[in-house]
Amino acid sequence: SLTEINSLKTTLPRLADALETFPALESFFALVAPLLLLTLNESLLPSILKWFAAWEGHVGASLLEASLFVKLCAFVFIQTFFVSALSGTITAELSNYLDNPEKIVDLLAN
């Protein structure tokens, strides 16, 4: 994941060198990395979705903007509710099954 410092160090070796030189930057990047990814997501997503909406062949600019709005709303809704809820639930259940593997047999038997 690009929000974790260890994966950033392996992905960007120059960043790893800078973090070894200035260890205080590691905590800074730990706090700022998710925010940077969110900002990048929010700045690039409308352009990408507008490109997809343009491929739909809308006649007017207002229809293009309306299509873009629908796509942005759907993305935010899915990202906010489904991805966060499902990922939290899946990781919690997976950790339960890793702690008690015999629960897997009970789950499969039912």
Radius of gyration of the chain (CA): 21
Q: Are 7 and 34 in contact (CB under 8 A)?
A: no
In whole angstroms, what is the distance from residue 66 CA to residue 87 CA?
A: 30
* Average pLDDT of every residue of the chain: 83
Quick: pLDDT tens for 51-87: 888 888 888 889 989 999 999 999 888 887 777 777 7
Tokens 């039912």 found at: 110
Cα separations in angstroms, 67 against 8, 35, 45: 35, 27, 14
Q: For residue 83, what are the contacts with CB-CB under 8 A and spacing of at least 6? A: none
Residue 4: per-residue pLDDT: 74
Least confident of 16-20, 34-38, 49-53, 62-66: 34-38
Q: For residue 49, what are the contacts with CB-CB under 8 A and spacing of at least 6? A: 68, 71, 72, 75
The answer to whether the predicted template modeling score (pTM) of the entire model surpasses 0.85 is no
The answer, yes or no, to whether residue 2 has pLDDT greater than 80, is no
